[in-house]
Structure 1
């Protein structure tokens, strides 16, 4: 009798232990694999590894830039020093500051990028609203022409533009880029028009109907109702336009070579400023003596857009999401 009772007790213990370990195994399985494949620890670990690799690929040039601009000449000439300098120097930053004529060039670049970006937002929003909501005759033709302006490379029309601006006396001035932006032909204007078209098409028609019943004109409807609703799209267009105008090099190298020179042009001329005795095309050579200064100059140029993006990142991402939503 006692042996049977002991056997039953052992069976109960074994069953309890089995249940306990099965529950633990189930919990471990849920943690490691998850209810869905994307919920588990393995999937998250793979995602973090992938994101770390992508982040490293994007941050590596900036890290190399910072490391190089802080190296003295002895570290630049020493092949054993790769990332971490033995001694930190600020001389490269000082030389880049004076070589770029940084305050003047920064003012020129900021003025060019901000004014042209604001003009692009205003004109492209008006054009996008007209193409999306108004009964424009031959709308299909205008849409095709807008796409055509986006497909034509700037190198094809750069010579006629240069001749026109030269005859008008607009070279080496802000108006070279401001006038096309005011006419809806700014940098990537076709893309911005389609962004606004997509946004305004997603708005319900009841807003327009209610405003028209209240006696609102088309201008008042756009300015008072539609444009405030398009703040996210305006922010996206402004940031994209600002970055493109800030970084552009080809067009300023043709139109802005004297006096009104932005940072991109000053960076291309930096090698000649640092070594005035060099002759010929020396802008793209790798000179270890001036490499740290050029990296410092490049970092000083990209720093303002990075700061602006960090500040406006949340609204920028929200705007990207909203411009693609169709209700």
Structure 2
């Protein structure tokens, strides 16, 4: 009798161990050993990433879908994302409405020239604030931070007055000259980025160069500036994108003549909305006739920055990490 009970107890214990081992395997498979490498954790993470990606990419998908739709597809409530056929006339209308070659050239000249000038001027300023010793350095850095905190709407009127007296209105000089002196768009932020980067560099490099007789300018351009390639890439890309997408400043300083793509898009939209012959639904929802050209124009504007970021994504990510912007 005792032998039978012992046998049943051993059998029960063995069965419990097997069930416990199987439950442990299932738990390890679902949850993972470190709570972030199991199937359940991966499913949750991928689901959250997919939702976030869709929220960010939905406007882009809507733009690309709308720009290739005909008027009949835009009116038809059945057609949501995929049109019945690709309609290319919207791109042709947007090309003509934007005056794309001229506006693209104007925008590229402003963005490229100002970005290069800002990289050089902000790098020199950031290096001076990080490494050199001169009277008023702390005060200068505080003033730079103040200019970063002040909204541009506060300074736009005195700047307009100054540029008007100098005869720079409706010319690219309203952006090129401030960029030359590290006062372009977000110039204070770029100075801070360079300053923080140069502060992380070892002082032994400068001391060795000074022992060899290198001057401050030679030390900066031959040693420190090549080391600042991650910061240069980050500042250049940020500056280029902000100059490319800016609208408020050009609307104030470039009201006629030299007009970038952002102003041409606004003028094109005003022409479409002001034409009662094609805008039969003005003020009531979306206009199915002008919606396609507007989305096509927006796509033509964002296409160059997307191409640039596609080819520079790796260097941009490395620059973000090495400049400490993620901290």
Tell me how far 1:305 sits from its aligned partner: 0.6
Residues 80-108 of structure 1 show CA distances to partners (whole Å, capped at 9, x for unaligned) of 32222223200101100111011111111
CA contact (8 A) 1:272 1:278 kept: no
Tell me how far 1:36 sits from its aligned partner: 1.4
Q: Distance in 1 between matches of 2:111 and 2:101?
A: 15
Tell me how far 1:216 sits from its aligned partner: 1.1
Tell me how far 1:173 sits from its aligned partner: 1.4
- 2:179 pairs, out of 164, 178, 181, with 181
Q: Distance in 2 between matches of 1:104 and 1:325?
A: 36
After TM superposition, list the pairs within 5 Å mapping 1:99-178 onto structure 2.
99-178=97-176
- 1:39 pairs, out of 33, 37, 40, with 37
Count matched residues: 320
TM-score (norm 2): 0.90
Tell me how far 1:264 sits from its aligned partner: 0.3
CA contact (8 A) 1:99 1:274 kept: no
- Equivalent residue, structure 2, for 1:318: 318
- Equivalent residue, structure 2, for 1:264: 262
Tell me how far 1:9 sits from its aligned partner: 10
Tell me how far 1:13 sits from its aligned partner: 8.5
| Superposition RMSD in Å | 2.5
After TM superposition, list the pairs within 5 Å mapping 1:229-248 onto structure 2.
229-248=227-246
- Equivalent residue, structure 1, for 2:218: 220
Match status 1:80 vs 2:86: no
Q: Distance in 2 between matches of 1:31 and 1:226?
A: 50
- Equivalent residue, structure 1, for 2:56: 58
Of stretches 207-216 and 191-200 in structure 1, the one that deviates more from structure 2 is 207-216
Match status 1:250 vs 2:239: no
TM-score (norm 1): 0.90
Q: Distance in 2 between matches of 1:260 and 1:242?
A: 18
Match status 1:298 vs 2:307: no
Q: Distance in 1 between matches of 2:296 and 2:155?
A: 34
Residues 106-155 of structure 1 show CA distances to partners (whole Å, capped at 9, x for unaligned) of 11111110100011100000000110111122222111110111111111
Distance 1:136-1:41 versus aligned 2 partners, 3 A rule: farther
Report the secondary structure of 1:148's partner residue: helix
After TM superposition, list the pairs within 5 Å mapping 1:272-283 onto structure 2.
272-274=270-272, 277=275
Tell me how far 1:20 sits from its aligned partner: 5.9
Tell me how far 1:307 sits from its aligned partner: 1.1
Q: Distance in 1 between matches of 2:169 and 2:60?
A: 34
- Equivalent residue, structure 2, for 1:196: 194
Tell me how far 1:165 sits from its aligned partner: 1.4
Distance 1:124-1:278 versus aligned 2 partners, 3 A rule: farther
Report the secondary structure of 1:161's partner residue: helix
